[in-house]
Structure 1
Amino acid sequence: MEKISQNKHLYQSRVVIILEEFEGFFKHDIYENISYQIPVSTHNPLADLILALDRELKGISEIYILAKTEKFSNTFQEQFQKLLIKHIQVAYHVLGKDIENNKIIILVQLVNLLAPQNVIILGRNLDLAKQIRTLSSNINTINIMNYTDIQANMRDMRDIETVINEQNLVVHTIKSLEIFPIGTIRKESVLVQGELPTYEKVVPIERNVLLEELNLKEDAILILMASNYLEYFMNDDFLKMCDKLIENNPKIYFVLVTDFIFEISQNKEHFKFIDNIDRATEVLPACNLFLSVATGWELTIAQFAIMADVPVIYIQSELLSSKELGTLQDVIMKPRVETVLLSELICANKGIAIDRIEELISNQQFYEEIMDKLRTTKYMIYKDKWSILLDILMGTRELEWTITTLRAKIYYNFIIQPNKSSLNEVLSFYNPKTDREEIINDVKKYLDGFPDLQSVILSARFNQDKNGRYLAEITKLLIEPNFTILNTYYIYYQVGIYSFCNACSGADYKIGYLVYKNLFERFLNTIDQTKYKPIVGNTGIVVVTCMHLLNRKTHAPTKQTLDYCYNIQKYLNKKVIIVVTDEPSYAEAGNIYTYNLINYEQPGTDKYLVMVEDEKFLVYQPILVDYCEQTMRDVVDFIYDWNPELVFNVGNRSLISDACKIFTKSISYQCGNGFGVTCSNVTVVPREPRPEEDAEQIEFFESNGQKVIYSPMTARLPISDKEFTREEYGIAEDAFVMCAVGGRLATEVTDEFTKIIEKILSKDKRLLFVFIGNFISYEDWVAKSEILTKQTKYVGFISEGMVNFYKICNLYVNPFRGGGGISAVEALYQGVPVVALSGGDAGVMAGKNFYVENKEDYIGLVEKYFTDPDFMQRQSNLAKLRAQKTFDTKSAMKKLLEDVDRVLG
């Protein structure tokens, strides 16, 4: 990546982006018909760059894009019309092929005409950058060679502002924007915002007191290390460096401040533990040196050290490996401590670190030179804009130093400047062993009055720990109107997605219901209810609502929705109108660490036709670009204008569908196995009744004015002539093939489920586990053990004829998840038995003959299938019988509508 140093700032208003290599920076699959409201990096890196400029730097008002190719020019226009740009004006010009010979001259002329302060060139043409800079000494340029440059620098945690400031580059692609999906925390979406906190100050310990506490002599040389990750950093190689220093100077002692004590085998007496990380800033001024261990908050404690006149030794190579970090590998990154440290003390390796430490100890002149520079560095920290975070520490221009705990400081950092760097400071403060309740209590204490920031920390921590306690706390934040209606709706939806995708429970269903009920009432209060007249009698119109319609072949909720529509219209003499509500909208997304972005298939118009076999349906879907609360009210009006006798929502909750109970019957059909959270007249539970298990929930819903109806979950049998053979997939004829199917296998095949797979496969070498769908991390996963490498196979998505693929399988094995219902029943249709837990969709669809109540019985049931041929045959026959019942959607819909009339009149 070529950077030209002109030292200009990106605060100035006009930027030109030259798309010199079109295809490398504007990826678009011409066969893909799904449009993203927020383009993700795998589809549109250039859009990521523009969004980052728009979100991060409010000083920019105009961006001009010059592209040299006409290829995909229509796509170019369509995609940029969809960008959720808030602050800047974006214009673009696609240059024709005829300019190829004079490309540089024409581009330079265009730049001269636009007169920008900053030019970003996406491509390898360095001559173009040089010629542009000849136009004016005030034009700053940067070349980004390829998208790999962006990705590589992104891992260094630098920010976009430094692109034009000529330091380093990172474009905030979806990897870093996933914290706040549209680029930054949306403060306008937050209705509650507290005052900046003032935390209790800490009095530094006197050196003689510390020496007495540690039982050391006055001439001891104290080297401080402070982190809850010390046990990971201080491996054998690192300890050899420590031993070498101690051998050369026995007066050296390492003061280790951490909440987690660990064993050190050699020179134990030279390692003094202080088992409280909050004491790090207290003991720091009493130490001789601070040795950096490169944690996410290292810059913060390095600044503390500088203000305390303590030299900081930083070893650049001290980074944790992904193996050591496990699930936390994304949050411990190379810190930006170089920005405040002295170059003389930045060490490329441990050998240099030994030399620098010994020189500081033995060479008085070198030590005094370092201390003189430190005094200058103090003022650099103070003047730097990042150092606004230190205002709580320094009350006067004379830099009188006061301190607080490191824990309080990193939370304060996050309040002042909430971005991925400060988020990582908070996350990396805690060890993987840290008690969840400690983290939750800290979030409540240090972020009191900042519900948006609490939600971000808790959701990011959930991404690491996958424990429902964090989801429960986020849900509680939504009870009160801390956020706007759309923002609350979005966060609530994401919490549900996290819970579903990770097969973990969040808040108690009563809390979840209270949140949604409060949200629904807030939305209902924005509607003029007086303009609606009650719809009575049978009008012959049924409106079916759903969040989105996606791929009919692979997306189970879409298949279910269209199946229900078909049978209601075809056999029950009703006209069905489909309304895709696009709920919840990204219009006010944010305030939660998001890694499950919603796919909305957005057609070019808000009304279109869909054919399901021989039946035609009108579909209405609001345009996403201008989605807001008024859009939702407009959709309610659209539904009312059709005069429906019933509004039938498929997919749990919908504010729009539930609001229709103002004027007609409204029911909500959960695309899952349990009770949905809804405020409609009727909540439909898609399974057989379980009287004892369901009694409490039925009483609760009925006490809130809702009726409960049971209706079996059904599916439409996909018909295909496509056939599969084991030979084409390299599967032995005598192999016993178990399959797992899903679009989120990377998250659903957990460590726990992996151990189950390994135990099963170890029973017999003829066992083979086949994964079908989306398992993007399969290559890394399969490398975990030899048995996974030898006895598993990943075949990707099978978009055509999937129902027939089961013919080459022996058993359908469902991971410990909530979904899998449709694929399970398709397997049953082919006589392939299912193994699932009772609580998920697969267990509900398959029925009691094919599920187990607990994980302990899971392996035993699988083993019985491949060791007992008679049992296998009996179960195969039962599978086919069960499938026939499950495919009878006609009868199920007929009974459901009769039950609705019965309970609602």
Structure 2
Amino acid sequence: MELGTFIGQICRYDRQEYFECYGQIEERLHNLEKILGTLEEAQRSMILEQMEHRAGEAPVWVRIHLLSFCMKVSKTPAYTQELLQTVLDADWNEVGEYEKLSDYWQIGTAVFADARLKGERTQEQLAALYRMLFDAFCGALGIKGRNYVPVEERDGNLVFVMTSQVLGQNHAPTKTLLDRCLVLKKYLRKKVVIINTAMQISGKGAGPFYDLCEAGYLPELYSLDHIEFQGEVFEFHQCANDMPNLDTMVQLVQMIRERKPCYLLDIGGSDICADICGMLVPEITVGTVFSAVAMSCGEYQLLDGKPGTGDLPVLERLGVDVEKIAAARFTFVFKPQEHDYTRQELGIWEHGFVLMIVGWRLDSEIADDFLAMLDRIAAQRENVQVVFMGRYESWQSIQTGYERLWKHTRYLGKQEDALAVFACGDLYVNPRRAGGGSSVAEALCQGLPAVTLPEGDVSAAAGEAFRVRDYEEMEREILRYMDDAGYYSRQSARARERAKELLDSRKSFGEAIEKLEEKIKDGVSR
């Protein structure tokens, strides 16, 4: 069946027919993606433009599905922005609150995983969509504006900490959650209640969207009433895996009204449930993508540094006062090192200069321009070895386009003891991406200098001393590290010093919270 005939056919389906055939439609689109991958760029672009044109004539749920395909396959921001605008403009009767919330998460997750999808207006559009959804859910619950529990009635020693997902201690956001709770309880002497709202990548009411991703959820945590971390015990509640559930939201709102915490801390942002509770007591949001403001309608935020010019329209869309964004260096907590590996045990060259590239989304984060840069280095230095750690399922494709680099490549996959692996490396090298902050902090802790572009979480965590302008300068910097032992030694010392700062949550987070506590006693900045 030709593409035009296929699209024409699915455009004639009513909604029930479309969902009945959804699996077949997805299969056809997956096959089309494989075919497009074999074509030249010009031909691929022409086919996607034809699909985009036909999508404009389709029912809105079909349009969203086809545009999501164009976005993910083209890897260009134009389709991202068109898709977001389509969701924003869609009538509530055609695309309801639950479906728009699912679309918000799917688009946001895709943009986070692949920086090429992010355009100049993408974050602003996401913020507009989030605010639209927040207002809709507030309306459904009858919440018309901030109406804080009076300060004299709030329990000054009680803090609710909310997050949209809790997984194991290999999960960086979960480690961030527990670390901040530890500071609140151990050093600030607060009673802490942790609530997993399970709002991460909501699948409830999801509409057609190409290659839907799902969030991790640990059902075994649902029955727990407490969790432990570094010798401290925290009261714990986990929502069922059916969020957003209005009845559950009402119960959480009632819990806030009854227990009256002095404030709540939202770890991660993009949590409408937490933001609704933040209409009853002051809310402080700590984003886990800390190089930009979090998607949150809470009154206060902690940010690693000052808001950038790109953050200002996002805050305006969210309805957040820029004066209520407080600066605090983002800090980390690591899983303790348990092993002392040798390079031989890991299959790493004994006398090589080892470049470490680490992440859980490397398939979408590593692009051809990054591989080409590494390939040029492999051509110039026989002793360089490029080691990938994490998830990079397409790593073997390197051998077809980058034969020189392929001979210098090692893929370690998932490693439980990252600190032990970093101890066998020489240099942390970062591709263009949004995340990765936790891994660079681990590398710095082991004395590995880093090389990163001036964007994203790795750049924010590593600091100015380890930034380069572009991949051309990155290539020169890597060669300098290989050739100049004195420079390497000085930068290694700076890496360890930076790591000390990145591990001091008591100072960075604790002091920032203490300052904010003075401002939020009555919910009004002073």
Q: TM-score range by the shorter chain?
A: 0.7 to 0.9
- C-alpha distance 641-690 of structure 1, shift in aligned 2 (>3 A): closer
Q: Name which one, 1 or 2, has greater alpha-carbon Rg.
A: 1
Cross-structure match for 2:473: 857
Deviation at residue 839 of structure 1 after TM alignment? 1.1
Cross-structure match for 2:149: 534
Cross-structure match for 1:835: 451
SS in 1 for 2:410: strand
Pairs within 5 Å for 1:794-833: 794-799=411-416, 801-833=417-449
- C-alpha distance 296-864 of structure 1, shift in aligned 2 (>3 A): farther
Question: What is the distance in 2 between the residues matched to 1:585 and 1:562?
Answer: 23
The percentage of counterpart residues that share the same residue type is 24
Q: Is the 8 A contact 1:461 1:470 kept in 2?
A: yes
Cross-structure match for 1:579: 195
Deviation at residue 784 of structure 1 after TM alignment? 4.1
TM-score, with length taken from structure 2: 0.87
Q: Is the 8 A contact 1:698 1:708 kept in 2?
A: no
Q: Is the 8 A contact 1:668 1:684 kept in 2?
A: yes
Question: What is the distance in 1 between the residues matched to 2:202 and 2:315?
Answer: 32
Q: Is the 8 A contact 1:459 1:474 kept in 2?
A: yes
AA of the residue aligned to 1:534? V
Question: What is the distance in 1 between the residues matched to 2:12 and 2:421?
Answer: 55
Q: Is the 8 A contact 2:296 2:318 kept in 1?
A: no
Cross-structure match for 1:461: 70
Deviation at residue 567 of structure 1 after TM alignment? 1.1
Pairs within 5 Å for 1:588-627: 588-603=205-220, 605-624=222-241
- C-alpha distance 510-728 of structure 1, shift in aligned 2 (>3 A): closer
Q: Is the 8 A contact 1:636 1:657 kept in 2?
A: no
Question: What is the distance in 2 between the residues matched to 1:457 and 1:889?
Answer: 45
> Does residue 674 of structure 1 match 2:283?
no
AA of the residue aligned to 1:542? V
TM-score, with length taken from structure 1: 0.52
- Identify the structure with the greater helix proportion: 2
- C-alpha distance 743-698 of structure 1, shift in aligned 2 (>3 A): closer
Pairs within 5 Å for 1:64-213: none
> Does residue 419 of structure 1 match 2:18?
no
Pairs within 5 Å for 1:216-615: 296-297=2-3, 300=5, 411-412=11-12, 417=18, 419=22, 421-422=24-25, 424=28, 431-434=43-46, 439-444=51-56, 446-447=57-58, 450-480=59-89, 481=92, 482-504=94-116, 505-506=118-119, 507-529=121-143, 534-536=149-151, 537-553=154-170, 555-583=171-199, 584-603=201-220, 605-615=222-232
Question: What is the distance in 1 between the residues matched to 2:284 and 2:206?
Answer: 27
Deviation at residue 856 of structure 1 after TM alignment? 3.4
AA of the residue aligned to 2:405? L
Question: What is the distance in 1 between the residues matched to 2:399 and 2:14?
Answer: 38
Cross-structure match for 1:341: none
AA of the residue aligned to 2:52? I
> Does residue 630 of structure 1 match 2:247?
yes
Question: What is the distance in 1 between the residues matched to 2:319 and 2:246?
Answer: 29
Question: What is the distance in 2 between the residues matched to 1:671 and 1:437?
Answer: 35
Deviation at residue 595 of structure 1 after TM alignment? 4.0
Find the partner of 1:738 among 355, 367, 379.
355
Deviation at residue 509 of structure 1 after TM alignment? 3.0
- C-alpha distance 868-694 of structure 1, shift in aligned 2 (>3 A): same
Cross-structure match for 1:179: none
Cross-structure match for 1:765: 382
> Does residue 789 of structure 1 match 2:406?
yes
Q: 1:822-864, CA deviations, whole angstroms, 9 ceiling, x for partnerless residues?
A: 1101110111001112211111101011122333322122222
Question: What is the distance in 1 between the residues matched to 2:485 and 2:127?
Answer: 47
Pairs within 5 Å for 1:707-726: 707-726=324-343
Q: Is the 8 A contact 1:566 1:615 kept in 2?
A: yes
SS in 1 for 2:44: coil
Cross-structure match for 1:756: 373
SS in 1 for 2:302: strand
- C-alpha distance 855-437 of structure 1, shift in aligned 2 (>3 A): farther
AA of the residue aligned to 2:202? S
Q: Is the 8 A contact 1:535 1:645 kept in 2?
A: no
Q: 1:748-786, CA deviations, whole angstroms, 9 ceiling, x for partnerless residues?
A: 222332222212222211000011112222334445443
Structure of greater relative contact order (alpha carbons < 8 Å, 6+ residues apart): 2
Q: 1:668-697, CA deviations, whole angstroms, 9 ceiling, x for partnerless residues?
A: 211111112221111332x22266x46844
SS in 1 for 2:141: coil
SS in 2 for 1:723: coil
Q: Is the 8 A contact 2:448 2:492 kept in 1?
A: yes
Deviation at residue 502 of structure 1 after TM alignment? 0.6
Question: What is the distance in 2 between the residues matched to 1:696 and 1:622?
Answer: 33
Question: What is the distance in 1 between the residues matched to 2:311 and 2:279?
Answer: 28
Q: Is the 8 A contact 2:360 2:391 kept in 1?
A: yes
Question: What is the distance in 2 between the residues matched to 1:578 and 1:595?
Answer: 29
Q: Is the 8 A contact 2:106 2:213 kept in 1?
A: yes
Q: 1:619-662, CA deviations, whole angstroms, 9 ceiling, x for partnerless residues?
A: 21112258633233333333443321111111122111111222
Find the partner of 1:900 among 508, 516, 520.
516
Question: What is the distance in 2 between the residues matched to 1:549 and 1:410?
Answer: 38
AA of the residue aligned to 2:126? G
- C-alpha distance 694-630 of structure 1, shift in aligned 2 (>3 A): same
Where does structure 1 lack aligned partners over 5 or more consecutive residues?
Answer: 1-294, 301-405
AA of the residue aligned to 1:675? V
Cross-structure match for 1:684: 302
Q: CA RMSD in A?
A: 2.9
- C-alpha distance 564-604 of structure 1, shift in aligned 2 (>3 A): closer
SS in 2 for 1:878: helix
SS in 2 for 1:611: strand
SS in 2 for 1:756: helix
Q: Is the 8 A contact 1:427 1:457 kept in 2?
A: no
Question: What is the distance in 1 between the residues matched to 2:369 and 2:83?
Answer: 25
Question: What is the distance in 1 between the residues matched to 2:209 and 2:8?
Answer: 21
- C-alpha distance 414-614 of structure 1, shift in aligned 2 (>3 A): same
AA of the residue aligned to 1:475? L
- C-alpha distance 414-833 of structure 1, shift in aligned 2 (>3 A): farther
Deviation at residue 663 of structure 1 after TM alignment? 1.3
Deviation at residue 881 of structure 1 after TM alignment? 0.7
Question: What is the distance in 2 between the residues matched to 1:807 and 1:751?
Answer: 28
Q: Is the 8 A contact 1:501 1:818 kept in 2?
A: yes
- C-alpha distance 475-630 of structure 1, shift in aligned 2 (>3 A): farther
Q: Is the 8 A contact 1:564 1:893 kept in 2?
A: yes
Question: What is the distance in 1 between the residues matched to 2:141 and 2:10?
Answer: 43
Count of residue correspondences: 498
Question: What is the distance in 2 between the residues matched to 1:571 and 1:527?
Answer: 36
- C-alpha distance 474-626 of structure 1, shift in aligned 2 (>3 A): closer
Where does structure 2 lack aligned partners over 5 or more consecutive residues?
Answer: 37-42
- C-alpha distance 626-738 of structure 1, shift in aligned 2 (>3 A): closer
Question: What is the distance in 1 between the residues matched to 2:245 and 2:211?
Answer: 20
AA of the residue aligned to 1:503? A
SS in 2 for 1:603: helix
Question: What is the distance in 1 between the residues matched to 2:429 and 2:389?
Answer: 12
Deviation at residue 606 of structure 1 after TM alignment? 4.3
Deviation at residue 474 of structure 1 after TM alignment? 2.0
